[in-house]
Structures are given as structure tokens and as C-alpha cells.
Amino acid sequence: MIPPASNFPAEVVKGLEARGIQEAIDQSGFWVSPAVLDPDACSELAGLYAGSETLFRSTTPMARYGFGQGEYKYFARPLPQAIDALRMATYRRMAPVEHETLIERCAAAGQWRPTSLLLRYGVGDYNCLHQDLYGDIHFPLQAIVLLDRPMVDFEGGELLLVEQRPRKQSRARVIPMVQGTIAVIPVKERPAESVRGVSRIRVRHGVSEVRRGLRRTLGLIFHDAA
């Protein structure tokens, strides 16, 4: 069953301060919300993974492509109403232009496949460091929603962010999340102050190995794929 959009905290997301998100990205490289999805909402979203295959446009076993271990599924268009509502509410906290404008730019560049996805990690699964770039057009930020409880439903499986800093060694960060939180991270890079002014820091993210249990997340990527 696909939960209706009214069950989801679109209004709560709209209440989050956009300036605070941007300031956190500039200062720390990421932003994490309070737990805006309750356990029932998280369970219903995670349950879509085993739902009708008509919800999805593709399934990717990560080991087959050298991405790590685990599996993810891209949603087909139209997105389930609840996911679309949460995606749009999150996007509007970060973007000065309408999402339709971004999608039109993607389509003009040959990027027309939706990119919102559910990811599933079992024991021993992990995600290699990567960037979610699907063509020439991309929105600079993306969101990740944790649907299970760390140290209860699973152990390990930390969300990792690695920054490749100019003329310095790379820095790895573990992003603290609990069930129902939304993490916002850069897709490709972020600006940062340096002794020479503003520089660009290249960013990749991944997931550490799950040691116990089951870890599921919802990925909200705002640009389409080629």
C-alpha cells in the first residue's frame, strides 16, 4: 500500500529554515534535520521496496557493477504521492527556482529518467564512495532519509562523506543520523573559504559495511538521469 501524502511531514519540512541548511553545508559540508518522519511513516516507505514492481523503473544489484554490495531500486514516474510530496517540500527549502525548470533543463540535455530511489543493505553490504551525477545537468544538493534505527535494527552502515580538499589530504566524516532524519549533502562539490579566497572542495559519499541487521534509506535526488 502506498501511504497518502497527508501522512508525511511535508509541512514540517516546509518549516525548516532554508538559511540554516545552507549555513550548515557551508560550515560543515552537510546538514541533518530532526527526526521529521515518525516510525510508522518510515516503515511504510521502507515497505515499498517489496511492493509492486510497477513502482520502479529499474533494480540495481550493486556487486554486479562494482558499486559495493546491496541493492537499490529507482522509482518510475509518476512517483508515489508521498515520496513526491516529501521530495518537493525538501527541494523548496534549498532552491530559488521551480523544480519544473530544473526538470525541463534535464530533459533538454537528454536526462529524463527519475532518480529517487530506495536502497537496501543487509549484513556485509556497503556502498563505495561515489557521486550521484547522471549527466551534464545536476542540482548541487541531494537528500538521504534513514528509514531504520541505528543500533536497534542494524549496526554499522554509517553514512560517510569524504572531502578532497585542495593541496591537503582528504577528510572523512561520519554523518550522524537517527530514524526519520533527512541528511542534505553536496552532490559533487561545495565552496569553502581558503587562504586564497574561495575554493571548491570535491565531495563523495558512501555507506560503511553493515555488521548486523537491515538498513534501508530513501534517496531524494532532484535532477533526472540520462
User: Which tens digits make up the pLDDT trace of 169-226?
Assistant: 999 999 999 999 999 999 999 987 777 778 889 999 999 999 999 999 999 999 999 9
> Does residue 226 sit within a domain?
no
Cβ neighbours for 85, distance < 8 A, ≥ 6 positions apart? 5, 8, 10
CATH of the domain at 74: 2.60.120.620
Mean pLDDT for 63-90 is 94
Single-letter amino acid code for the residue at 226: A
Residue 19 in this model has a pLDDT that exceeds 90: no
Q: Residue 223's pLDDT is what? A: 97
> Does residue 199 sit within a domain?
yes
Which domain does 135 fall in, by range? 5-220
> Does residue 30 sit within a domain?
yes
Cβ neighbours for 167, distance < 8 A, ≥ 6 positions apart? none
Residue 11 in this model has a pLDDT that exceeds 80: no
Q: What share of the chain has pLDDT > 90, as a percent? A: 72
> Does residue 141 sit within a domain?
yes
> Does residue 225 sit within a domain?
no
Look up residue 168 and give its three cell numbers.
591537503
Residue 6 in this model has a pLDDT that exceeds 60: no
Structurally, the chain folds into a number of domains equal to 1
Residue 3 in this model has a pLDDT that exceeds 80: no
Banded pLDDT at 66 (limits 50, 70, 90): very high
> Does residue 41 sit within a domain?
yes
> Does residue 99 sit within a domain?
yes
Cβ neighbours for 59, distance < 8 A, ≥ 6 positions apart? 71, 72, 73
